[in-house]
Structure 1
Amino acid sequence: MTGTGTLGSVPPNPDLRSRLRGLVSELGKFGAVGGFAFTVDLVLYNLLLQQGIETLIAKTVSTTVATTIAFFGNRFWTWRDDGDHVSMTRQYTTFFVLNLIGLGIALACLAISHYGLGSVWAPARSRLADNIAGLGVGTALGTLFRFWSYRRYVFRVNVAPAAQSPASQ
């Protein structure tokens, strides 16, 4: 403090900068893996629809395949150096359960659009509307949930505190 109620210049925090750089790198890798998995989801979903598979079943199958791809991409690239990698079975199970929640988010968006809005407005049952609701809105909301939950529960990214108290050293 330089005077009553005023702050002087704040020195740069190299630890904060390196943590931000790490987070940006992590987000970039997560985005690349997610982009690839999203593409698989989109292509497979539409291929299944062309084969006459029901909308929600097609979405469930495409998301399950994309989830498995995303797990391996995130496990061996995005968070390969972070977290507890002792039990791949535990990680995959937790990853898959959290993805079921993410799938539920996407399916809820798709169901609301396709069956809810579609019952009163026919264009909401179109393939374009299904893609917007399930792959656009549903994926966006599910992605926010997934990034947070992967870091917190699956790969347990440990961010070291800026300064440890003498009692914890």
Structure 2
Amino acid sequence: MGERWQRLAGEFGRSAVAGTIASLVAFVLFNLLVHWDPGYDHAVLEGWPITGFVIANVVSTLLTYQLSRGWAFRHRAPVGFAGGLLSFFLISYASMLIPVTCLWVSRNLLHHDSALADNIAANVVGLFLGFVARFFAWRAWVFPHVPEMTPVAAEQRPAFD
């Protein structure tokens, strides 16, 4: 395996571990909000599974950013506003449409409303597809690879640059 593929595999692996940790946080929080009955005859967001999913994933995105910047993509400098924070969050929330769509299809088209069905749709199928989309988007727009400038390339750079 070439150096480029090894670097990609390492980034993907570290990002997958970071994403798994954050997804576990989202999973627990989602189930607490939507399916856990704390003794009030119903869960806090029992009838609002998509709202619960969004809230849980806002919290987990904060964790994912820290793990991605400090570990998964530590060798790449983030670009953009506030160390790539704005781009990271925009990509994360845009890609949240993938698991939300999976959850919506499961609930509204397939009429599955159990905790198991919700978790398979949103937290297995949806989050996997969303993770792959986010990984490549983060890699391209938040933590891009900037090749080191060789002495020849530095000499060919315009003086005003």
Q: TM-score range by the shorter chain?
A: 0.7 to 0.9
- Match for residue 32 of structure 2 among 22, 47, 54: 47
Q: Which residue of 2 aligns with 1:150?
A: 138
Q: Which residue of 2 aligns with 1:35?
A: 20
The count of aligned residue pairs is 145
Alignment of 1:72-111 (within 5 A): 72-84=66-78, 89=82, 91-111=84-104
Q: Show structure 1 runs of 4+ deviating over 6 A.
A: none
**TM-score under structure 1 length normalisation:** 0.77
Q: Distance in 1 between matches of 2:147 and 2:136?
A: 14
Structure 1 unaligned regions, length at least 5: 1-15, 119-123
RMSD: 2.4
Q: Distance in 2 between matches of 1:148 and 1:78?
A: 13
Q: Which AA in structure 2 matches 1:129?
A: A
Contact 2:69 2:78 in 1 (8 A): no
**Aligned with 1:95: secondary structure?**
helix
Bigger Rg, which one? 1
- Identity percentage over the alignment? 28
Q: Which residue of 2 aligns with 1:60?
A: 54
Q: Which residue of 1 aligns with 2:119?
A: 131
Q: Which AA in structure 1 matches 2:124?
A: G
Q: Distance in 1 between matches of 2:71 and 2:9?
A: 14
